[in-house]
Amino acid sequence: MLSRAELMRCFVAKLKDEAVVGGIGNTNFDLFAAGHRKENFYMLGSMGLAFPIALGVALAQPQRGVVGLEGDGSLLMNLGCLATIGMVAPKNLMLIVMDNQAYQITGRQPSATATSCDLVEVARGAGIRRSDWARDVADFERLVEIGLRREGPVLIGARIDAAPATAEPPRDPQQLRDRFMQGMGTRKDVGAL
């Protein structure tokens, strides 16, 4: 079992101008805790939307690398997005599934990955051929580097711990949207946010 916080730090340290979309749950919290970037978007409220939003950004900005971060519980709520990503297959899209086998932030109820479901196998079956479990931190870093080379779509699964989050992004949806649009260079009419 890997340290979620350590993986996030390793991941963020490799970023340049990539857009990163965090999902509801610890992926958002860890992404923010690793240091806010103007290219980060933190999804609030609805589970399973980090990958579809990341897909949209990847298609809108094909010159930019785009990464979606999602928890197992959230991805299980929206598995269909994997089939769409497998079909559209943007080279600039990387997906990272942080699998703690539970819906942690609502009380650690076990998810299907605790017993029967392998999300990397699901992703392969959905047409994302470059889908792999990270065996350890070094393997995770290797897979992230492949994803950042824009030879995607790439999906990385990481079986991670359930450490408590250390920070949370601000919960102001308008501010989060406007900041991200500034980070993407698509909104210039607002001042510093």
Ligand X SMILES: Cc1ncc(C[n+]2csc(CCOP(=O)(O)OP(=O)(O)O)c2C)c(N)n1
- Interface residues with ligand X (CB under 6 A)? 24-26, 45-47, 71-74, 77, 100, 102-106
Q: Which is nearer to ligand X, 92 or 104 (CB)?
A: 104
- DSSP code per residue over the chain: -B-HHHHHHHHHHT-SS-EEEEPTTHHHHHHHHT---TTEEE--S-TT-HHHHHHHHHHH-TTS-EEEEEEHHHHHTTTHHHHHHHHH--TTEEEEEEE-SEEGGGT-EE-GGGTT--HHHHHHHTT--EEEE--SHHHHHHHHHHHHTT---EEEEEEB--PPPS------HHHHHHHHHHHTT---SS---
Q: Which is nearer to ligand X, 92 or 111 (CB)?
A: 111
Q: Which is nearer to ligand X, 75 or 143 (CB)?
A: 75
Q: Which is nearer to ligand X, 73 or 157 (CB)?
A: 73
Q: Which is nearer to ligand X, 3 or 61 (CB)?
A: 3
Q: How many CB atoms lie within 10 A of CB 148?
A: 19
Give the nearest distance from C-beta 22 to ligand X in angstroms.
Answer: 10
Q: Which is nearer to ligand X, 2 or 148 (CB)?
A: 2
d(CA 19, CA 62): 11
Give the nearest distance from C-beta 29 to ligand X in angstroms.
Answer: 8
